[in-house]
Amino acid sequence: MQPQLIAPAVEREDEQSSEPPSRMRADEPPSLSVPESSLKSPAGSQWSDWRWQIRNRIRTLEQLSAYLPGLSEREDLKAVIAKYPMAITPYYASLIRKPDLSDPIFRMSVPNPQELSDPPCLSEDPLEEHIDMPVPGLIHRYKDRALLIATTTCSMYCRHCTRKRIAGTRETAISSRRLRQVVEYLQAHPEITDVIISGGDPLTMADSALESVLSAVRSVKTVQVIRIGTRVPVVLPMRITDELVQMLRKYHPLWINTHFNHPNELTPDSAAACTKLADAGIPLGNQSVLLRGVNDQPQILEELYRGLVRIRVRPYYLYQCDLVRGVEHFRTSVRAGIEIMEYLRGRISGIAIPTFVVDAPHGGGKIPVLPNYVVSMSPTHTVLRNYEGLLIHYPEPGVETKPDEQTELHGMPGVWELAAGKASVIQPARTLRGQRREKIRNRSGLESTGFLFD
């Protein structure tokens, strides 16, 4: 664990402050203002035992209302749980700071009657994964990649899950007969070089069961890269044990994509889990989902992405919410995502900016969606804009922009002049960067900014 990563919280820990339990030491059970009996509060060592966490997941309304007494009257939640199972690890429940929908952890984990109200545009399987399954459990959509559903179990059932139709409906893992069929298919399709092991959450499997899947996939000579998709570092970080990591590192090149959605999920425990994986040479990516009321504010995602880079997790995708039944209340407009991308660019490093994608209905695959940076094009120049609103032209190869043309202007240049090569840039007034450059230019003796050393 690297507590210095979340230093301010760790400092506060010693002050017995009102910080949420998530900010406490990894081996301490939390002390929420809820009946301790509800979580069968264990000795510290048990809290850190991932099997204890799985065994003690909150699965029924009775368990939930024992933990969050304000929900004891919510009989309406029973119908939601019957349709879409609930499971919340004690660890993840301990991250709830306020027991209502304004709390992002509560919103992502506690069932909501709105899950039962679906407009007609939603469907069970909008990505049509079942049609792209040549072998049960193996989705082959893109030519060189396939995704294997290794289990239908997750430690926590996210209320916004794209695979609500299968996640948790039966907690089961792939059989050896099915796994053999998958291997045969991969052998017959050498164009598949990259296999994603997903679910459900494959890291809920016992090490030996997971290793059977990994070694079966690795036995296919044409598979070059294995990826694991998991939310375990976020919702059950104690699952990342030394033994697991030792086992995983046998199957390199192995990548892991995890699923943080909100800065409140960045805790010393989740940082420790990611650190262990990164130290084992496993590159880590993060796939967030844009969720109304959870992370649809640019500043929230800025904080999340900065935090992820600190723990060596590269923000990879930001997904527009899929058109899945049961998630309408989480959906935002596509415009909200574009606004967020507009905010992030120029504000945080490129390594902290994910690609915003719409996973297209009908199995159309991921479509990147960006703010518009191409303003105009001519045969000779492309006019681009940057995050500040600066407009600049990029000459196509073979075009010679004559400096004297730029002096023939009468009045201020416009976009047409940039596209025609008659001007090269239109600067917005008084940007921070402009003021900084001005100061540098005005420094005595420094006439050019094009050198580093005297």
Q: What are the residue numbers of the active site?
A: 141-142, 145, 154, 158, 161, 163, 322, 359, 366
Nearest to residue 20, comparing CAs of 425, 67, 12, 384? 12
- Between CA 340 and CA 289 the distance in angstroms is 13
Q: Can residue 329 be called a binding residue for ligand SF4 (CB under 6 A)?
A: no
- Between CA 186 and CA 87 the distance in angstroms is 33
Given a contact cutoff of 8 angstroms between Cβ atoms, the answer to whether 265 and 105 are in contact is yes
Q: Can residue 199 be called a binding residue for ligand SF4 (CB under 6 A)?
A: yes
Stretch that binds ligand SF4, among 126-134, 161-169, 299-307, 440-448 (CB under 6 A): 161-169
Out of 103, 115, 201, 265, name the contact with ligand SF4 by CB under 6 A: 201
Closest CB 379 distance from ligand SF4, rounded Å? 47
Q: Can residue 158 be called a binding residue for ligand SF4 (CB under 6 A)?
A: yes
Closest CB 175 distance from ligand SF4, rounded Å? 19
Q: Count of CB atoms within 10 A of residue 109's CB? A: 23
Residue 265 or 417: the one with the smaller Cβ distance to ligand SF4 is 265
Nearest to residue 334, comparing CAs of 301, 302, 371? 371
Residue 237 or 421: the one with the smaller Cβ distance to ligand SF4 is 237
Out of 26, 95, 154, 226, name the contact with ligand SF4 by CB under 6 A: 154
Q: Count of CB atoms within 10 A of residue 413's CB? A: 18
Nearest to residue 105, comparing CAs of 30, 180, 178? 30
Q: Count of CB atoms within 10 A of residue 358's CB? A: 18
Residue 168 or 413: the one with the smaller Cβ distance to ligand SF4 is 168
Q: Can residue 231 be called a binding residue for ligand SF4 (CB under 6 A)?
A: yes
Given a contact cutoff of 8 angstroms between Cβ atoms, the answer to whether 57 and 156 are in contact is yes
What letter would DSSP give residue 304? H
Stretch that binds ligand SF4, among 74-82, 197-205, 272-280, 315-323 (CB under 6 A): 197-205
What mask of x and - would describe binding to ligand SF4 in positions 378 to 417, judged by CB under 6 A?
Answer: ----------------------------------------
H-helix or E-strand spanning residue 258 = strand 254-258
Stretch that binds ligand SF4, among 23-31, 125-133, 198-206, 410-418 (CB under 6 A): 198-206
Beta strand 365-368 with 355-360: parallel, antiparallel or unpaired? Answer: antiparallel
Closest CB 170 distance from ligand SF4, rounded Å? 14
Please, which residues bridge with residue 345 across strands? 348
Give the sign of the dihedral formed by CA 237, CA 243, CA 245, CA 248: negative
Out of 138, 150, 167, 352, name the contact with ligand SF4 by CB under 6 A: 167
Closest CB 192 distance from ligand SF4, rounded Å? 22
**In the complex, which residues of this chain contact ligand SF4 (CB under 6 A)?**
154, 157-158, 161, 163, 167, 199-201, 231
